[in-house]
Structure 1
Amino acid sequence: MTTSTTSESSAAAPLFDLQALVVAVRRRRRLWSFMALLGLLVGAAVAVLMPPPPTAVTKVLVAHQADQPNDPGTLIRTDVALLQTTRIASNALQSLNSTEKPEDFMQDYGGIGLTNNLLQINVTGDSDAEAVARAKALAEAFVANHVKQIQAAAKAEAKALLDQRDRMRDELAQVNKAIGDGPQDNSPEASANFESLFARRAELTSRIADFDQRAAEARTGTPQLIAGTQIVDAPRAVQHSLPKAAATNAAIGLALGLALGLALAAVGSVVADRPVLRRDFAANLGASVIAELPRRTGRLWQRRRIREARTRLTTSLARTVLGSAEPVSLLELGCARGTSVLALDLARALEPEGPVVIVDGLPGPQLAGRRPKPGDPTVVSGERAAAVSHQERRLGVGSVAPGTAWTDLQYLGTRTVLVVRAGHGSAAWLHTVARQLADQRIAVIGVVLIDPDPRDRTDGTLWDGLHTALRGQSERLARQNGTGLRRTERQPMWDARVPDSDQEAR
């Protein structure tokens, strides 16, 4: 006995089907299109309803004593951090004669290091004039603070050098005094010590001159740093363009909304696990996809093609019903209205061959609540279905949606055509439908796919299910008549209940 290809395909199935995901996301284009449109509108609304406050900008050239060509920007980042201090904020507010708290003022401005020595200051205010005045006061306060730091550093360095020089001068005075007193005796040791005093005096004289020069250089370098720190770009108000801001925010909102919509559609498709491809329906339901119909009427230039497809399907189903000795039913999943219309069309096509009665097993009023038109077939439901004459052809219409009374489906027909809307039921529920129909001994002739993906190129033909496929009718009838035709195709995994005679024959 050969192994089922269904189990083989299940074992070899990939954990992540990219093609099915792309199709599912494309089918949910309403979601991500709505999210993209919502993002665009929100972005534009933010620009209109929440315009930026009046802003002024200025640029300050900052000279550092420790400037190096290979500086990674540490010094300018320190200046940006110093700008956000209460000392500079207080000095700026004092020049503006403002009573605002420095902590609150610090929330209205910020600094950006453009280069190692160029600082940009952005300040907001209640008006353009106020923003410009604030920017000027803040820049001047920063420059004054920086200059003060440079001067303090230079003074501290010069003072340290001069203090060292003074200590050496005191020592030099002592050496000169010792030299003036002369040697204490004429011993060789006294003569050597006296000569070392002359060497020490020369060394101290040289070092004192060096400290004088370094102190002078420290004082000389300060004016260069002070002159190098200045406002190079006068404070000016930043012009705000509402159309440009609205367009920018709308583009950003569109991109973010589209990305969020695509992510939601992809995650929702993976979590829901709702098949949309022909091959998935054939594998999960154990029957081939025999026809496809759009869910809606379609555009004007597509209506003729849709009518032709519906006519071909009605004709094919009519031939199947006429050639079947058992009652046939239409069972829907997610398309009750389309199934009821299809049942009426099929009943009208069967009318020339004899009276047709539609047994309504739908939970809704699609058939029972409709107004009959002249020439429409008879529709019965409930207890009236048992009173239908055997001379009349029965066409059952039911549902396999969650909550279905499975044991009642066999009274609608022992052979059925599943009318399923793509992307409606999950893979687990499709397995449940196939298993329940097999338990009720209801053979699935085929699947009519409603609202298929127009770009789906997968194969919806099931090659290992002769007991459900149209091409297996002859073998099934022959097996029922006892002719014992040899079955060569593989058995699907859910065909678990077979007569013992069939098991022995196999």
Structure 2
Amino acid sequence: MTTDRTTDAQAPVPLLDLQSLVVAVRRRRRLWSSLALLGVLAGGALAVLLPPPPTAVTKVLVAHKEDQPNDTGTLIRTDVELLRTTRIAEAALRTLDSRVKPEDFMEDYRGTGLTNNLLEITATGDDDAQAVARAAALADAFVTDHVRRMRETAEAEAEALLAQRERTRDELAEVNEAIGDRSPQSDPKAAASLETLFARRAELGSRIADFDQRAAEARTGTPRIVAGTQIVDAPRAVRHSLPKAAVTDAGIGGVLGLVLGLVVAAVGAVVADRPVLRREVAAHLGASVIAELPRRRPAGPWRSRRMRAARERLTASLARTIRGSAEPVSLLELGHARGTGAIALDLAAALAAREPVTVVDALPGLPLARRRPKPGDPAVVCDENAAQAPDGERRLGVGSVAPGTAWTDLRHLGTRTVLVVRAGHGSAAWLHTVARQLADQRVTVLGVVLIDPDPRDRTDGTLWDGPDHALRGRGERPARRNGTERPRTERLPMRAARVPDGDEEGR
């Protein structure tokens, strides 16, 4: 039974695979951990090399005539902006007897509205004494300016009310004069007109009394505002703790560096598009993952034994596969030439126990042919001297499919191959190129040995495109069983035959 490959091709592909993205970001932990450490060091160095200037702080209670319980903070924000005006700065500089320009002095202090009626003034200076003096001068200048403005507003309002009262009194005098000029008459129209004048006089008298009361209230409210606006917290120097500042800045720098590193790692993983999971590597190369090996030597004897056992299992599995093949087999690396050479030597040593083996080294730089042989090591020749190998010996080719590979030379290393691929090394486009070039050269891929896999990868690296495909790979020529059976040709996947809908379509 074969599965139609068009079914898998038509499966919806997500725009962004979160599992692959998380794995790729986790594999780049050196990048984001380095940036986080750099942020910690930069934050700590910044706190030590650039300490904050001497600072003083004071608090002022500000009373407003328009204070309301539901005020949203508009009045205190207005006071903060008024504090940062040249008028306040000039008044404070006159108190300090300083020749600093008001525009430059405004850069050395700021105001912050803590509540609707509480203003905090922060000032800096060359030393603590100067900072405290500046904060005190600013607080006094602000309180004086605020009281003056409130008094001017109250006086202006009272004068306006009194002026309106005088106009109303003049009008009342005219009404009184008009009433005095009228003589008692029995005419109904004259009586109605006189009644209107009396009503107007009463209204004007009430308005005059109201203006007097409002003017008095305007003047009376000013002392309350003056008494309510005062300095409630005397100016004092702010003490800075260098260790605390260093720890705070280092923490902030570490968080920023970590975030930046994660963003850079995620963007780099998406742009590079380097498959890491078994499922992706197998799908792009068109061959199943048959074994895995860690890239680095693990620490500790227990993990070293596990890695040694894994390499022995891999060597035994590859040896059984190669002994059952009458054709030459090669190992082709992508991203891990050193590990591929070690696997080739172990495999040649396992095969040499039953038959003579010669390793053909076609790796970049010829690391196997130029090394010092040890007693008992198999014979190693370079690619140019492969023809000098004795006849009848099994040849084990070791080459590379990295960019720059001479594809036509790969078939001379072996018509069947095992790919040794480091996870996350080659891009998806290059893995497709490798699979296409090997198919063009009629080199059968037996399987993929994945180097440095993700330890949390739980995906399946086996391709289920046919019963014989999991271990042989695509495009393999017919194989014999025990050397006696006739060749059995692998059937390519075929589309299901379409049943005609009617007699006419059948004809």
Q: TM-score, normalised by structure 2?
A: 0.90
Q: Which residue of 1 aligns with 2:252?
A: 252
Q: Which residue of 2 aligns with 1:497?
A: none
> Any idea what SS the aligned residue of 1:353 has?
coil
Residues in 2 aligned to 1:195 and 1:6: alpha-carbon distance in whole angstroms: 106
Q: CA deviation at 1:207?
A: 2.7
Q: Larger deviation: 19-28 or 2-11?
A: 2-11
- Native 8 Å contact 2:447 2:473 kept in 1: no
Q: Which residue of 2 aligns with 1:499?
A: none
Residues in 2 aligned to 1:459 and 1:398: alpha-carbon distance in whole angstroms: 27
Counterpart mapping for 1:68-83 below 5 A: 68-83=68-83
- Native 8 Å contact 2:46 2:249 kept in 1: yes
Residues in 1 aligned to 2:447 and 2:90: alpha-carbon distance in whole angstroms: 83
Cα distance change, pair 174–3 in 1 and its aligned pair in 2 (3 A) = same
Deviations along 1:94-149, one digit per CA (max 9) or x if unpaired, are 11111111111111111111111111111111111111111111111111111011
Cα distance change, pair 399–385 in 1 and its aligned pair in 2 (3 A) = same
Q: Which residue of 2 aligns with 1:454?
A: 455
Q: Larger deviation: 360-369 or 228-237?
A: 360-369
> Any idea what SS the aligned residue of 1:111 has?
strand
Cα distance change, pair 303–185 in 1 and its aligned pair in 2 (3 A) = closer
Q: Is 1:168 the counterpart of 2:135 in the alignment?
A: no
Q: CA deviation at 1:191?
A: 7.2
Residues in 2 aligned to 1:163 and 1:12: alpha-carbon distance in whole angstroms: 84
- Native 8 Å contact 2:56 2:123 kept in 1: yes
Q: Which residue of 2 aligns with 1:504?
A: none
Q: CA deviation at 1:67?
A: 1.0
- The one-letter code of the counterpart of 2:93 is L
> Any idea what SS the aligned residue of 2:353 has?
helix
Cα distance change, pair 223–357 in 1 and its aligned pair in 2 (3 A) = same
- The one-letter code of the counterpart of 1:83 is L
Q: CA deviation at 1:381?
A: 1.9
Q: CA deviation at 1:271?
A: 1.3
Q: CA deviation at 1:184?
A: 7.5
Q: CA deviation at 1:203?
A: 3.9
> Any idea what SS the aligned residue of 1:71 has?
coil
- The one-letter code of the counterpart of 2:238 is V
Q: Larger deviation: 372-381 or 335-344?
A: 372-381
Counterpart mapping for 1:355-366 below 5 A: 355-366=356-367
Q: Is 1:483 the counterpart of 2:486 in the alignment?
A: yes
Residues in 2 aligned to 1:10 and 1:370: alpha-carbon distance in whole angstroms: 50
> Any idea what SS the aligned residue of 2:352 has?
helix
Cα distance change, pair 13–169 in 1 and its aligned pair in 2 (3 A) = closer
Gaps of 5+ in 2: 496-507
Deviations along 1:36-82, one digit per CA (max 9) or x if unpaired, are 11111111111111111111111111111111111111111111111
- Native 8 Å contact 2:446 2:472 kept in 1: no
Cα distance change, pair 447–213 in 1 and its aligned pair in 2 (3 A) = same
Q: Which residue of 1 aligns with 2:502?
A: none
- Native 8 Å contact 1:122 1:135 kept in 2: yes
Residues in 2 aligned to 1:18 and 1:26: alpha-carbon distance in whole angstroms: 12
Cα distance change, pair 336–468 in 1 and its aligned pair in 2 (3 A) = farther
Residues in 2 aligned to 1:196 and 1:382: alpha-carbon distance in whole angstroms: 128
Residues in 2 aligned to 1:416 and 1:98: alpha-carbon distance in whole angstroms: 86
Q: Which residue of 2 aligns with 1:233?
A: 233
- The one-letter code of the counterpart of 2:255 is A
Q: Which residue of 1 aligns with 2:58?
A: 58
- The one-letter code of the counterpart of 1:483 is R
Q: CA deviation at 1:378?
A: 2.1
RMSD over aligned Cα atoms: 2.7
Counterpart mapping for 1:183-202 below 5 A: 183=182, 188=187, 199-202=199-202
What fraction of aligned residue pairs are identical, expressed as a percent?
A: 70
Cα distance change, pair 236–320 in 1 and its aligned pair in 2 (3 A) = same
Q: Which residue of 2 aligns with 1:428?
A: 429
Residues in 2 aligned to 1:449 and 1:469: alpha-carbon distance in whole angstroms: 15
Q: CA deviation at 1:255?
A: 1.3
> Any idea what SS the aligned residue of 2:52 has?
coil
- Native 8 Å contact 2:287 2:473 kept in 1: no
- The one-letter code of the counterpart of 1:354 is E
Q: CA deviation at 1:186?
A: 6.6
- The one-letter code of the counterpart of 2:44 is A
Residues in 2 aligned to 1:65 and 1:185: alpha-carbon distance in whole angstroms: 51
Q: Larger deviation: 472-481 or 108-117?
A: 472-481
Residues in 2 aligned to 1:12 and 1:332: alpha-carbon distance in whole angstroms: 32
- The one-letter code of the counterpart of 1:395 is L
